Structure 1
Amino acid sequence: MKPGKFDATVLTLGFAFLYIPIIILVIYSFNDSKLVTVWGGFSLKWYSQMWSNDGLMNAGWVTLRVGLLSASLGTVLGTLTALALVRFNKFPGRLLFSGMVYAPLVMPEVITGLSLLLLFVAIGLDRSLLTVTIAHTTFTMCYVAIVVQSRLLTFDRSLEEAALDLGCPPVKTFFKITLPLILPAVISGWMLAFTLSLDDLVIASFTTGPGATTLPIKIYSQVRLGVTPEINAVCSILIAIVTVGVIIASITTKRHELQRQRDEHFAAAAP
Protein backbone atom coordinates (compact mmCIF):
# COMPACT_ATOMS: atom_id res chain seq x y z
CA MET A 1 0.00 0.00 0.00
CA LYS A 2 1.34 3.42 -0.92
CA PRO A 3 2.17 5.84 1.92
CA GLY A 4 -0.43 8.29 0.68
CA LYS A 5 -3.23 5.72 0.80
CA PHE A 6 -2.05 4.46 4.17
CA ASP A 7 -2.10 7.99 5.63
CA ALA A 8 -5.57 8.61 4.19
CA THR A 9 -6.84 5.32 5.63
CA VAL A 10 -5.46 6.03 9.09
CA LEU A 11 -6.84 9.57 9.00
CA THR A 12 -10.27 8.34 7.92
CA LEU A 13 -10.38 5.70 10.64
CA GLY A 14 -9.28 8.25 13.24
CA PHE A 15 -11.97 10.75 12.27
CA ALA A 16 -14.58 7.98 12.13
CA PHE A 17 -13.62 6.80 15.61
CA LEU A 18 -13.93 10.35 16.95
CA TYR A 19 -16.99 11.69 15.18
CA ILE A 20 -19.31 8.78 14.33
CA PRO A 21 -20.47 8.44 17.99
CA ILE A 22 -21.16 12.19 18.06
CA ILE A 23 -23.14 12.01 14.83
CA ILE A 24 -25.18 9.08 16.17
CA LEU A 25 -25.90 11.03 19.37
CA VAL A 26 -27.14 14.03 17.39
CA ILE A 27 -29.32 11.85 15.14
CA TYR A 28 -30.96 10.08 18.07
CA SER A 29 -31.70 13.40 19.76
CA PHE A 30 -34.45 13.70 17.12
CA ASN A 31 -35.78 10.24 17.91
CA ASP A 32 -39.49 10.04 18.71
CA SER A 33 -39.05 6.91 20.81
CA LYS A 34 -38.23 6.96 24.52
CA LEU A 35 -35.68 4.23 23.88
CA VAL A 36 -32.47 5.90 22.83
CA THR A 37 -31.32 2.87 20.84
CA VAL A 38 -34.56 2.29 18.91
CA TRP A 39 -35.51 4.69 16.13
CA GLY A 40 -39.16 5.67 16.34
CA GLY A 41 -39.34 8.45 13.79
CA PHE A 42 -38.29 12.08 13.55
CA SER A 43 -39.47 14.35 16.36
CA LEU A 44 -38.47 17.55 18.18
CA LYS A 45 -40.42 16.76 21.34
CA TRP A 46 -37.31 16.02 23.40
CA TYR A 47 -35.95 19.46 22.69
CA SER A 48 -39.27 20.89 23.82
CA GLN A 49 -39.22 18.83 26.99
CA MET A 50 -35.60 19.78 27.59
CA TRP A 51 -36.49 23.48 27.66
CA SER A 52 -39.21 22.77 30.20
CA ASN A 53 -36.83 20.79 32.43
CA ASP A 54 -35.94 23.27 35.17
CA GLY A 55 -33.07 21.16 36.48
CA LEU A 56 -31.30 21.00 33.14
CA MET A 57 -31.97 24.65 32.35
CA ASN A 58 -30.62 25.85 35.70
CA ALA A 59 -27.52 23.69 35.27
CA GLY A 60 -27.05 25.00 31.73
CA TRP A 61 -27.34 28.61 32.91
CA VAL A 62 -24.77 27.97 35.66
CA THR A 63 -22.41 26.34 33.15
CA LEU A 64 -22.77 29.26 30.75
CA ARG A 65 -22.06 31.84 33.46
CA VAL A 66 -19.07 29.91 34.78
CA GLY A 67 -17.73 29.42 31.26
CA LEU A 68 -18.02 33.09 30.30
CA LEU A 69 -16.56 34.37 33.56
CA SER A 70 -13.72 31.86 33.83
CA ALA A 71 -12.80 32.15 30.14
CA SER A 72 -12.69 35.95 30.34
CA LEU A 73 -10.68 36.01 33.57
CA GLY A 74 -8.42 33.22 32.32
CA THR A 75 -7.80 35.07 29.06
CA VAL A 76 -6.76 38.25 30.85
CA LEU A 77 -4.52 36.44 33.33
CA GLY A 78 -3.14 34.08 30.69
CA THR A 79 -2.27 36.95 28.35
CA LEU A 80 -0.48 38.82 31.12
CA THR A 81 1.34 35.63 32.08
CA ALA A 82 2.48 35.08 28.50
CA LEU A 83 3.73 38.66 28.31
CA ALA A 84 5.70 38.19 31.53
CA LEU A 85 7.30 34.95 30.34
CA VAL A 86 8.22 36.26 26.88
CA ARG A 87 9.15 39.89 27.55
CA PHE A 88 10.92 39.40 30.89
CA ASN A 89 13.42 36.61 30.40
CA LYS A 90 15.26 37.19 33.67
CA PHE A 91 13.52 37.95 36.94
CA PRO A 92 13.76 36.29 40.38
CA GLY A 93 11.65 33.17 40.57
CA ARG A 94 11.00 32.93 36.81
CA LEU A 95 11.63 29.17 36.75
CA LEU A 96 9.26 28.62 39.67
CA PHE A 97 6.67 30.92 38.09
CA SER A 98 6.75 29.11 34.73
CA GLY A 99 6.56 25.76 36.51
CA MET A 100 3.47 26.87 38.42
CA VAL A 101 1.90 28.06 35.17
CA TYR A 102 2.45 24.77 33.36
CA ALA A 103 1.74 22.48 36.35
CA PRO A 104 -2.08 22.27 35.85
CA LEU A 105 -1.50 21.08 32.28
CA VAL A 106 0.16 17.84 33.38
CA MET A 107 -1.38 17.43 36.81
CA PRO A 108 -4.33 15.00 37.05
CA GLU A 109 -7.65 16.78 37.38
CA VAL A 110 -8.42 14.81 40.53
CA ILE A 111 -5.35 16.30 42.22
CA THR A 112 -6.21 19.80 41.03
CA GLY A 113 -9.81 19.52 42.20
CA LEU A 114 -8.87 18.07 45.58
CA SER A 115 -6.18 20.73 46.12
CA LEU A 116 -8.63 23.53 45.37
CA LEU A 117 -11.23 21.94 47.63
CA LEU A 118 -8.74 21.80 50.53
CA LEU A 119 -7.79 25.42 49.84
CA PHE A 120 -11.40 26.60 49.94
CA VAL A 121 -12.02 24.67 53.15
CA ALA A 122 -8.86 26.08 54.74
CA ILE A 123 -9.80 29.70 54.02
CA GLY A 124 -13.44 29.13 54.98
CA LEU A 125 -14.89 29.80 51.54
CA ASP A 126 -18.16 27.96 51.00
CA ARG A 127 -18.46 26.08 47.73
CA SER A 128 -20.63 28.02 45.32
CA LEU A 129 -20.62 29.58 41.87
CA LEU A 130 -17.59 31.64 42.93
CA THR A 131 -15.46 28.62 43.83
CA VAL A 132 -16.27 26.86 40.55
CA THR A 133 -15.35 30.01 38.62
CA ILE A 134 -12.06 30.33 40.49
CA ALA A 135 -11.26 26.67 39.87
CA HIS A 136 -11.98 26.90 36.15
CA THR A 137 -10.00 30.12 35.85
CA THR A 138 -7.05 28.41 37.53
CA PHE A 139 -6.63 25.71 34.91
CA THR A 140 -7.94 27.50 31.81
CA MET A 141 -5.49 30.41 32.11
CA CYS A 142 -2.63 27.94 31.58
CA TYR A 143 -3.92 27.02 28.13
CA VAL A 144 -4.43 30.66 27.22
CA ALA A 145 -0.88 31.47 28.33
CA ILE A 146 0.56 28.80 26.03
CA VAL A 147 -1.50 29.91 23.02
CA VAL A 148 -0.64 33.61 23.44
CA GLN A 149 2.99 32.84 24.27
CA SER A 150 3.43 30.98 20.98
CA ARG A 151 2.23 34.10 19.14
CA LEU A 152 4.41 36.48 21.13
CA LEU A 153 7.53 34.43 20.36
CA THR A 154 7.12 35.29 16.66
CA PHE A 155 5.99 38.87 17.28
CA ASP A 156 7.88 41.66 15.48
CA ARG A 157 8.83 44.00 18.31
CA SER A 158 10.09 46.66 15.90
CA LEU A 159 6.49 47.85 15.58
CA GLU A 160 6.31 48.49 19.31
CA GLU A 161 9.72 50.14 19.31
CA ALA A 162 8.64 52.45 16.51
CA ALA A 163 5.53 53.48 18.43
CA LEU A 164 7.56 54.08 21.61
CA ASP A 165 10.12 56.14 19.68
CA LEU A 166 7.29 58.33 18.39
CA GLY A 167 6.23 59.08 21.97
CA CYS A 168 3.40 56.57 22.45
CA PRO A 169 3.13 55.49 26.14
CA PRO A 170 3.76 51.78 26.85
CA VAL A 171 0.16 51.09 27.89
CA LYS A 172 -1.24 52.78 24.80
CA THR A 173 1.31 50.92 22.66
CA PHE A 174 0.05 47.64 24.02
CA PHE A 175 -3.60 48.40 23.26
CA LYS A 176 -2.95 50.05 19.88
CA ILE A 177 -0.15 47.88 18.49
CA THR A 178 0.45 44.68 20.44
CA LEU A 179 -3.07 43.59 21.31
CA PRO A 180 -4.53 43.95 17.78
CA LEU A 181 -1.68 41.87 16.35
CA ILE A 182 -1.99 39.07 18.91
CA LEU A 183 -5.79 39.25 18.98
CA PRO A 184 -6.29 36.03 16.95
CA ALA A 185 -4.26 34.12 19.56
CA VAL A 186 -6.19 35.80 22.39
CA ILE A 187 -9.52 34.87 20.79
CA SER A 188 -8.35 31.31 20.22
CA GLY A 189 -7.25 31.11 23.85
CA TRP A 190 -10.62 32.40 25.02
CA MET A 191 -12.48 29.86 22.91
CA LEU A 192 -10.26 27.06 24.21
CA ALA A 193 -10.81 28.19 27.81
CA PHE A 194 -14.58 28.44 27.30
CA THR A 195 -14.72 24.96 25.75
CA LEU A 196 -12.66 23.44 28.56
CA SER A 197 -14.95 25.04 31.13
CA LEU A 198 -18.06 23.66 29.42
CA ASP A 199 -16.53 20.20 29.31
CA ASP A 200 -15.12 20.00 32.86
CA LEU A 201 -16.62 17.45 35.22
CA VAL A 202 -13.91 16.35 37.67
CA ILE A 203 -12.74 19.72 38.99
CA ALA A 204 -16.28 21.09 39.12
CA SER A 205 -17.43 18.08 41.15
CA PHE A 206 -14.89 18.97 43.86
CA THR A 207 -15.57 22.71 43.93
CA THR A 208 -19.30 23.00 43.27
CA GLY A 209 -21.90 23.55 45.95
CA PRO A 210 -25.66 23.89 46.41
CA GLY A 211 -27.20 25.95 43.63
CA ALA A 212 -24.06 25.76 41.49
CA THR A 213 -24.48 22.42 39.73
CA THR A 214 -22.95 22.56 36.26
CA LEU A 215 -24.42 20.84 33.24
CA PRO A 216 -21.75 18.07 33.00
CA ILE A 217 -22.42 17.14 36.64
CA LYS A 218 -26.17 17.17 36.01
CA ILE A 219 -25.81 15.00 32.91
CA TYR A 220 -23.51 12.57 34.70
CA SER A 221 -25.90 12.19 37.61
CA GLN A 222 -28.80 11.45 35.25
CA VAL A 223 -26.81 9.11 32.99
CA ARG A 224 -26.07 6.84 35.94
CA LEU A 225 -29.81 6.19 36.13
CA GLY A 226 -30.10 5.65 32.38
CA VAL A 227 -29.66 7.71 29.23
CA THR A 228 -32.77 9.62 28.18
CA PRO A 229 -33.47 11.38 24.86
CA GLU A 230 -33.37 14.70 26.73
CA ILE A 231 -29.69 14.08 27.48
CA ASN A 232 -29.08 13.56 23.76
CA ALA A 233 -30.81 16.87 23.05
CA VAL A 234 -28.74 18.74 25.63
CA CYS A 235 -25.50 17.23 24.34
CA SER A 236 -26.47 18.11 20.77
CA ILE A 237 -26.95 21.75 21.75
CA LEU A 238 -23.55 21.76 23.47
CA ILE A 239 -21.99 20.31 20.33
CA ALA A 240 -23.67 23.02 18.25
CA ILE A 241 -22.40 25.78 20.57
CA VAL A 242 -18.83 24.50 20.45
CA THR A 243 -18.98 24.03 16.67
CA VAL A 244 -20.26 27.56 16.08
CA GLY A 245 -17.60 28.93 18.42
CA VAL A 246 -14.82 27.10 16.59
CA ILE A 247 -16.11 28.33 13.22
CA ILE A 248 -16.28 31.93 14.46
CA ALA A 249 -12.78 31.71 15.92
CA SER A 250 -11.42 30.24 12.68
CA ILE A 251 -13.05 32.94 10.54
CA THR A 252 -11.81 35.69 12.87
CA THR A 253 -8.27 34.30 12.87
CA LYS A 254 -8.26 34.01 9.08
CA ARG A 255 -9.51 37.57 8.62
CA HIS A 256 -6.85 38.95 10.96
CA GLU A 257 -4.19 36.96 9.14
CA LEU A 258 -5.35 38.29 5.76
CA GLN A 259 -5.41 41.83 7.15
CA ARG A 260 -1.88 41.39 8.52
CA GLN A 261 -0.65 40.17 5.14
CA ARG A 262 -2.25 43.16 3.42
CA ASP A 263 -0.64 45.56 5.88
CA GLU A 264 2.77 43.95 5.37
CA HIS A 265 2.29 44.11 1.57
CA PHE A 266 1.39 47.80 1.68
CA ALA A 267 4.27 48.54 4.04
CA ALA A 268 6.72 46.77 1.73
CA ALA A 269 5.34 48.59 -1.34
CA ALA A 270 5.50 52.00 0.33
CA PRO A 271 8.50 54.16 -0.73
Structure 2
Amino acid sequence: MKPRTLRTPSTLRTLRTGLVWLVYAFLYVPILVVIVYSFNDARYTTEWKGFTLKWYSALAANGPLVDAALNSLSVATLAATIATVLGTLAAICIRRYRFPGRKVLHGCIYVLTVSPDIVMGISLLIFFIAMGVQLGFWTLLAAHVTLALPFVTVTVLARLAEFDEQLIEAARDLGASEWRAFRHVLLPLAAPAVAAGWLLSFTLSMDDVLVSFFVTGPTFEVLPLRVYSMVRLGVKPDINALSAVMFTVTIVLVLLAQTLTRTRRK
Protein backbone atom coordinates (compact mmCIF):
# COMPACT_ATOMS: atom_id res chain seq x y z
CA MET A 1 0.00 0.00 0.00
CA LYS A 2 1.47 3.32 -1.08
CA PRO A 3 1.73 6.02 1.56
CA ARG A 4 -0.63 8.97 1.09
CA THR A 5 1.11 12.13 -0.04
CA LEU A 6 0.42 15.10 2.23
CA ARG A 7 0.22 18.53 0.69
CA THR A 8 2.21 21.07 2.61
CA PRO A 9 0.92 24.63 3.14
CA SER A 10 3.63 25.93 0.82
CA THR A 11 2.41 23.64 -1.98
CA LEU A 12 -1.19 24.81 -1.50
CA ARG A 13 -0.01 28.41 -1.49
CA THR A 14 1.87 27.83 -4.74
CA LEU A 15 -1.19 26.25 -6.35
CA ARG A 16 -3.41 29.13 -5.28
CA THR A 17 -0.90 31.66 -6.56
CA GLY A 18 -0.61 29.86 -9.88
CA LEU A 19 -4.40 29.69 -10.24
CA VAL A 20 -4.72 33.41 -9.53
CA TRP A 21 -2.10 34.25 -12.16
CA LEU A 22 -3.86 32.03 -14.69
CA VAL A 23 -7.12 33.89 -14.10
CA TYR A 24 -5.35 37.25 -14.46
CA ALA A 25 -3.67 36.06 -17.66
CA PHE A 26 -7.01 34.91 -19.07
CA LEU A 27 -8.55 38.31 -18.35
CA TYR A 28 -5.75 40.70 -19.23
CA VAL A 29 -3.53 39.08 -21.88
CA PRO A 30 -6.08 39.73 -24.68
CA ILE A 31 -6.30 43.38 -23.57
CA LEU A 32 -2.51 43.69 -23.57
CA VAL A 33 -2.37 42.19 -27.07
CA VAL A 34 -4.82 44.83 -28.31
CA ILE A 35 -2.74 47.59 -26.67
CA VAL A 36 0.49 46.28 -28.18
CA TYR A 37 -1.01 46.10 -31.68
CA SER A 38 -2.25 49.67 -31.34
CA PHE A 39 1.43 50.60 -31.83
CA ASN A 40 1.88 48.29 -34.82
CA ASP A 41 2.88 50.00 -38.07
CA ALA A 42 0.92 47.42 -40.09
CA ARG A 43 -2.63 48.18 -41.11
CA TYR A 44 -3.73 44.67 -40.25
CA THR A 45 -2.86 42.79 -37.06
CA THR A 46 -1.57 39.67 -38.78
CA GLU A 47 2.08 40.68 -38.44
CA TRP A 48 4.32 43.15 -36.66
CA LYS A 49 5.96 45.82 -38.84
CA GLY A 50 7.43 48.16 -36.28
CA PHE A 51 6.48 50.74 -33.66
CA THR A 52 4.34 53.75 -34.58
CA LEU A 53 1.97 56.31 -33.06
CA LYS A 54 0.16 57.12 -36.28
CA TRP A 55 -2.98 55.21 -35.31
CA TYR A 56 -3.43 57.49 -32.31
CA SER A 57 -3.14 60.46 -34.67
CA ALA A 58 -5.68 58.81 -36.95
CA LEU A 59 -7.95 58.28 -33.95
CA ALA A 60 -7.75 61.97 -33.01
CA ALA A 61 -8.53 62.94 -36.61
CA ASN A 62 -11.55 60.63 -36.84
CA GLY A 63 -14.30 63.19 -36.29
CA PRO A 64 -17.34 60.85 -36.12
CA LEU A 65 -15.57 58.53 -33.69
CA VAL A 66 -14.48 61.41 -31.43
CA ASP A 67 -18.00 62.86 -31.48
CA ALA A 68 -19.44 59.47 -30.52
CA ALA A 69 -16.92 59.20 -27.68
CA LEU A 70 -17.86 62.66 -26.38
CA ASN A 71 -21.54 61.72 -26.57
CA SER A 72 -20.88 58.56 -24.57
CA LEU A 73 -18.86 60.45 -21.97
CA SER A 74 -21.58 63.05 -21.47
CA VAL A 75 -24.33 60.43 -21.16
CA ALA A 76 -22.26 58.18 -18.89
CA THR A 77 -21.28 61.02 -16.55
CA LEU A 78 -24.85 62.32 -16.20
CA ALA A 79 -26.37 58.84 -15.94
CA ALA A 80 -23.84 57.72 -13.32
CA THR A 81 -24.38 60.86 -11.23
CA ILE A 82 -28.18 60.68 -11.33
CA ALA A 83 -28.22 56.92 -10.68
CA THR A 84 -25.78 57.32 -7.78
CA VAL A 85 -27.90 60.00 -6.10
CA LEU A 86 -31.17 58.12 -6.56
CA GLY A 87 -29.66 54.73 -5.75
CA THR A 88 -28.02 56.00 -2.55
CA LEU A 89 -31.28 57.56 -1.36
CA ALA A 90 -33.17 54.38 -2.23
CA ALA A 91 -30.68 52.24 -0.29
CA ILE A 92 -30.94 54.50 2.76
CA CYS A 93 -34.74 54.41 2.66
CA ILE A 94 -34.84 50.63 2.32
CA ARG A 95 -32.29 50.15 5.10
CA ARG A 96 -33.42 52.70 7.69
CA TYR A 97 -37.17 53.16 7.20
CA ARG A 98 -40.26 50.96 7.22
CA PHE A 99 -43.01 51.76 4.70
CA PRO A 100 -45.67 49.87 2.71
CA GLY A 101 -44.20 48.01 -0.24
CA ARG A 102 -40.65 48.08 1.14
CA LYS A 103 -40.03 44.36 0.62
CA VAL A 104 -41.55 44.47 -2.86
CA LEU A 105 -39.29 47.39 -3.79
CA HIS A 106 -36.27 45.57 -2.39
CA GLY A 107 -37.08 42.47 -4.41
CA CYS A 108 -37.73 44.43 -7.61
CA ILE A 109 -34.30 46.03 -7.35
CA TYR A 110 -32.62 42.63 -7.25
CA VAL A 111 -34.77 41.42 -10.16
CA LEU A 112 -33.55 44.36 -12.27
CA THR A 113 -29.91 43.45 -11.66
CA VAL A 114 -30.40 40.04 -13.29
CA SER A 115 -32.88 41.13 -15.96
CA PRO A 116 -31.52 40.68 -19.52
CA ASP A 117 -30.52 43.91 -21.21
CA ILE A 118 -32.53 43.06 -24.31
CA VAL A 119 -35.71 42.81 -22.23
CA MET A 120 -35.03 46.18 -20.65
CA GLY A 121 -34.20 47.75 -24.00
CA ILE A 122 -37.41 46.52 -25.67
CA SER A 123 -39.51 47.52 -22.65
CA LEU A 124 -38.09 51.03 -22.59
CA LEU A 125 -38.53 51.37 -26.35
CA ILE A 126 -42.22 50.41 -26.10
CA PHE A 127 -42.66 52.82 -23.19
CA PHE A 128 -41.08 55.75 -25.01
CA ILE A 129 -43.10 55.08 -28.17
CA ALA A 130 -46.33 54.84 -26.13
CA MET A 131 -45.52 58.16 -24.43
CA GLY A 132 -44.75 59.79 -27.77
CA VAL A 133 -41.17 60.66 -26.78
CA GLN A 134 -38.68 61.16 -29.61
CA LEU A 135 -35.69 58.86 -29.31
CA GLY A 136 -32.38 60.62 -28.72
CA PHE A 137 -30.22 61.98 -25.93
CA TRP A 138 -32.89 62.16 -23.23
CA THR A 139 -34.30 58.70 -23.84
CA LEU A 140 -30.79 57.26 -23.80
CA LEU A 141 -30.01 59.09 -20.54
CA ALA A 142 -33.21 57.84 -18.90
CA ALA A 143 -32.49 54.29 -20.06
CA HIS A 144 -28.95 54.32 -18.70
CA VAL A 145 -30.13 55.71 -15.36
CA THR A 146 -32.67 52.88 -15.19
CA LEU A 147 -29.97 50.37 -16.09
CA ALA A 148 -27.48 51.57 -13.44
CA LEU A 149 -29.85 52.46 -10.60
CA PRO A 150 -30.34 48.94 -9.14
CA PHE A 151 -26.60 48.25 -9.14
CA VAL A 152 -25.92 51.41 -7.13
CA THR A 153 -28.69 50.54 -4.69
CA VAL A 154 -27.38 47.01 -4.13
CA THR A 155 -23.80 48.28 -3.68
CA VAL A 156 -24.78 50.89 -1.10
CA LEU A 157 -27.09 48.45 0.68
CA ALA A 158 -24.19 46.05 1.15
CA ARG A 159 -22.21 48.86 2.79
CA LEU A 160 -25.11 49.96 5.00
CA ALA A 161 -25.57 46.39 6.24
CA GLU A 162 -22.42 46.95 8.33
CA PHE A 163 -23.58 50.37 9.56
CA ASP A 164 -24.22 50.82 13.30
CA GLU A 165 -27.51 52.68 13.79
CA GLN A 166 -26.39 53.76 17.23
CA LEU A 167 -24.06 56.28 15.58
CA ILE A 168 -27.08 58.12 14.17
CA GLU A 169 -28.82 57.95 17.55
CA ALA A 170 -25.73 59.35 19.26
CA ALA A 171 -25.55 62.20 16.77
CA ARG A 172 -29.24 63.00 17.31
CA ASP A 173 -28.76 62.93 21.08
CA LEU A 174 -25.96 65.46 20.70
CA GLY A 175 -28.31 67.85 18.92
CA ALA A 176 -27.70 67.02 15.27
CA SER A 177 -30.66 67.28 12.92
CA GLU A 178 -31.61 64.45 10.56
CA TRP A 179 -29.80 66.21 7.70
CA ARG A 180 -26.62 66.88 9.74
CA ALA A 181 -26.55 63.26 10.92
CA PHE A 182 -26.87 62.12 7.32
CA ARG A 183 -24.29 64.62 6.06
CA HIS A 184 -21.62 64.12 8.74
CA VAL A 185 -22.14 60.51 9.91
CA LEU A 186 -23.97 58.31 7.42
CA LEU A 187 -22.70 59.68 4.11
CA PRO A 188 -18.94 59.61 4.98
CA LEU A 189 -19.24 55.99 6.10
CA ALA A 190 -21.09 55.04 2.93
CA ALA A 191 -18.78 57.07 0.66
CA PRO A 192 -16.67 54.10 -0.58
CA ALA A 193 -19.82 52.28 -1.72
CA VAL A 194 -21.19 55.45 -3.27
CA ALA A 195 -17.95 55.96 -5.22
CA ALA A 196 -17.97 52.30 -6.28
CA GLY A 197 -21.58 52.66 -7.42
CA TRP A 198 -20.71 55.71 -9.51
CA LEU A 199 -17.79 53.95 -11.19
CA LEU A 200 -19.92 50.87 -11.85
CA SER A 201 -22.69 53.02 -13.33
CA PHE A 202 -20.22 54.91 -15.50
CA THR A 203 -18.77 51.65 -16.81
CA LEU A 204 -22.20 50.15 -17.50
CA SER A 205 -23.21 53.24 -19.45
CA MET A 206 -19.98 53.47 -21.43
CA ASP A 207 -20.00 49.89 -22.71
CA ASP A 208 -23.75 49.28 -23.10
CA VAL A 209 -24.81 48.17 -26.56
CA LEU A 210 -28.18 46.41 -26.34
CA VAL A 211 -30.17 49.03 -24.43
CA SER A 212 -28.54 51.87 -26.38
CA PHE A 213 -29.38 50.16 -29.67
CA PHE A 214 -33.11 50.31 -28.89
CA VAL A 215 -33.42 53.78 -27.33
CA THR A 216 -30.76 56.01 -28.85
CA GLY A 217 -32.50 56.95 -32.10
CA PRO A 218 -30.91 57.95 -35.43
CA THR A 219 -29.88 61.48 -34.38
CA PHE A 220 -27.59 60.64 -31.47
CA GLU A 221 -24.70 58.17 -31.83
CA VAL A 222 -22.71 56.75 -28.93
CA LEU A 223 -19.32 55.08 -28.93
CA PRO A 224 -20.32 51.41 -28.37
CA LEU A 225 -22.72 51.46 -31.32
CA ARG A 226 -20.18 53.26 -33.49
CA VAL A 227 -17.47 50.72 -32.66
CA TYR A 228 -19.87 47.83 -33.20
CA SER A 229 -20.72 49.08 -36.67
CA MET A 230 -17.01 49.48 -37.48
CA VAL A 231 -15.76 46.07 -36.27
CA ARG A 232 -18.38 44.14 -38.23
CA LEU A 233 -16.07 44.47 -41.24
CA GLY A 234 -12.86 43.85 -39.29
CA VAL A 235 -10.88 45.44 -36.47
CA LYS A 236 -8.92 48.47 -37.67
CA PRO A 237 -5.79 49.78 -35.92
CA ASP A 238 -7.52 52.97 -34.77
CA ILE A 239 -10.01 50.79 -32.89
CA ASN A 240 -7.05 49.18 -31.11
CA ALA A 241 -5.82 52.68 -30.22
CA LEU A 242 -9.27 53.60 -28.91
CA SER A 243 -9.35 50.44 -26.79
CA ALA A 244 -5.94 51.29 -25.34
CA VAL A 245 -7.07 54.82 -24.45
CA MET A 246 -10.27 53.59 -22.81
CA PHE A 247 -8.42 50.93 -20.82
CA THR A 248 -5.91 53.52 -19.59
CA VAL A 249 -8.68 55.87 -18.51
CA THR A 250 -10.38 53.01 -16.67
CA ILE A 251 -7.18 52.15 -14.79
CA VAL A 252 -6.71 55.81 -13.82
CA LEU A 253 -10.28 56.00 -12.48
CA VAL A 254 -9.86 52.82 -10.44
CA LEU A 255 -6.56 54.01 -8.95
CA LEU A 256 -8.13 57.38 -8.15
CA ALA A 257 -11.07 55.71 -6.41
CA GLN A 258 -8.73 53.53 -4.34
CA THR A 259 -6.65 56.56 -3.38
CA LEU A 260 -9.72 58.48 -2.27
CA THR A 261 -10.94 55.47 -0.28
CA ARG A 262 -7.60 55.11 1.54
CA THR A 263 -7.54 58.85 2.28
CA ARG A 264 -11.01 58.71 3.83
CA ARG A 265 -10.09 55.71 5.98
CA LYS A 266 -7.01 57.48 7.31
Q: Provide TM-score, normalisation by structure 1.
A: 0.91
CA distance in 1, matches of 2:79, 2:46: 36
Structure 1 runs (4+) deviating above 3 angstroms are none
Asked if 1:137 corresponds to 2:140, the answer is no
**Counterpart in 2 of 1:43?**
52
- Cα shift at 1:252: 1.2
Q: Which of these residues, 18, 21, 34, is aligned with residue 30 of structure 2? A: 21
RMSD over aligned CA atoms reads: 1.3
The one of 112, 115, 118 equivalent to 1:107 is 115
Query: Aligned-pair distance for 1:3?
Result: 2.8
2:255 is matched with which residue? 247
| 1:237 corresponds to | 245
Which whole-Å deviations, capped at 9, do the CAs of 1:186-224 have from their partners, x for residues lacking one? Answer: 111111111111111111111111232111110010000
Shift of 1:37: 2.6
Give the whole-Å Cα distance in 2 for the aligned partners of 1:180 and 1:8.
35
Question: 2:162 matched to 1:154?
Answer: yes
Unpaired runs of 5+ in structure 1? 260-271
Q: Where do 1:37-116 residues align within 5 Å?
A: 37-88=46-97, 90-116=98-124
Report what 1:210 is aligned to. 218
The residue type paired with residue 50 of structure 1 is L
Overall identity of the aligned pairs, in % = 41
**Deviation at residue 185 of structure 1 after TM alignment:** 1.3
What is the aligned residue count? 257
C-alpha separation in 1, matches of 2:46 and 2:84: 41
TM-score normalised over the length of structure 2: 0.93
Which AA in structure 2 matches 1:65? S
> Alignment partner for residue 166 of structure 1, among 174, 184, 187?
174
> In the aligned structure 2, how far is the partner of 1:196 from the partner of 1:253?
21
Q: Does 1:12 align with 2:26?
A: no
- Helix, strand or coil for the counterpart of 2:82? helix
Task: String of CA shifts for 1:107-139, please: whole Å, max 9, x gaps.
Answer: 111111111111111111111011111111112
The 1-side partners of 2:187 and 2:216 are apart by: 34
